[in-house]
Amino acid sequence: MEWKEVSANRSFSGWQKVYDHESEACNGTMRFGLYQPENIDGDELPLFVWLSGLTCTHENFVTKSGFQAMADKFGIYVVAPDTSPRNQNIEGEDDSWDFGSAAGFYLDATQEPWSKAYNMESYLIKELIPQVIHKFPIDRDCIGISGHSMGGHGALTLGLKHSDLFSSVSAFAPICAPSQCPWGEKALGNYLGQDKEAWKDYDACELIKAGKFQEQLLIDQGVADQFLKEQLHPHLLVEACKDAGIGLELRMHQEFDHSYYFVASFLEDHFHWHLNQWG
C-alpha cells in the first residue's frame, strides 16, 4: 500500500518521518509517525509501537516525549499512529473530548455509525504494523507495544490479545479496567453496545481473567495523576495479574501527574525494559 511522505526531519543519526496512507479499516486517510534509525547494513531491528491517549494525534509522542534520542541510541524503529479515524462526517464525532475523534480506544466498533470507520484494532494489527514490517527490516521476535492513558489501555489489550505479535508490553497511566470507569463506560457502550459481555474483549483485567497472557508487564503511574482514582484503577490490574500469575511491575511515582512530562521522565526506563524482554 502506498504511503505519502508528509514530512522528514533528520533526528540524531536517523529520520523522523510522518506519512499518510489509505486505510480500509478506518475508511479513509490515516496519518502516523515513524522514526527510522540509521541502519546502513539493513539489519533486522526491533519495532516499538506507541499508542497515545485521549485528545491526541500521532504528533504528541513525536514532539513531546524526546523518544528519538533513545530510538537512535538503541537502534529501534518507532511507529506512532493516530488515535482514531478522522473526517468521517459522523454526527457527534467531534462533540466531546473523550469520545469520537481522538478517542478511538483501539477497538473495532460494532455499533453503527461507528462501525464503518472506528476499527483501530484491525487498522493496527492487520494494516499498519504489517506494512511497517513489510517495508523495513524488522525483527519479528522483538516487537513491543506501549502507550499512555487510553493508549496504555490499547497497549495492554492489544498486547494481551496478540501475544503472537507483541513480545513485550508496557504502559503509562493506563485505563486498566474501562468497563468500570466513566471514560470506558461511555466509549465501550457507544462503540460496542450495552451488552457488557462484549466489553470484556477490550478490558485488560477481563482479558487476563479469561486467560490472555503476557509473562511480564511494566506500568508506571503518577500518584498526583488527577484521573487516578476515578478512571485508571491500577489496583484492579494488580489483582488480576496476581490471580493469573503474570509478573506485573507497577511503579507508583510521587508528585507526577498525567502529563507528557511524566511520560518523558520514565520513557528511557521502558526502552531498557523492552530491550531486556527481547533478550
Mean pLDDT of 1-29: 97
For 90-128, write each residue's pLDDT tens digit.
999 999 999 999 999 999 999 999 999 999 999 999 999
pLDDT at 206: 98
Candidate list 58, 258, 270, 274, residue with the active-site label: 258
The CATH number covering residue 209 comes to 3.40.50.1820
Tell me: pLDDT of 42 over 90.
yes
Average confidence score pLDDT of the chain: 98
Catalytic residue among 225, 233, 270, 274: 225
The model's pLDDT over 242-272, given as tens digits with 9 standing for 90+, comes to 999 999 999 999 999 999 999 999 999 999 9
Of the residues 52, 101, 149, 167, only one is catalytic, namely 149
DSSP SS3 for 112: coil
- Catalytic site includes residue 149: yes
Burial 167-204 (b: 16+ CB within 10 A, else e): bbbbbbbbbbbbbbbebbebbbbbbbeeeeebbebbbb
**pLDDT at residue 90 in the model:** 97
Percent of the chain with pLDDT over 90: 99
Cell triple for 62: 513525536
Q: Which domain holds residue 222?
A: 3-278
Q: Specify the number of domains making up the chain.
A: 1
Q: Is 243 noted as a catalytic residue in this protein?
A: no
Residue 65 known to be catalytic: no
1 pLDDT above the threshold of 80? no
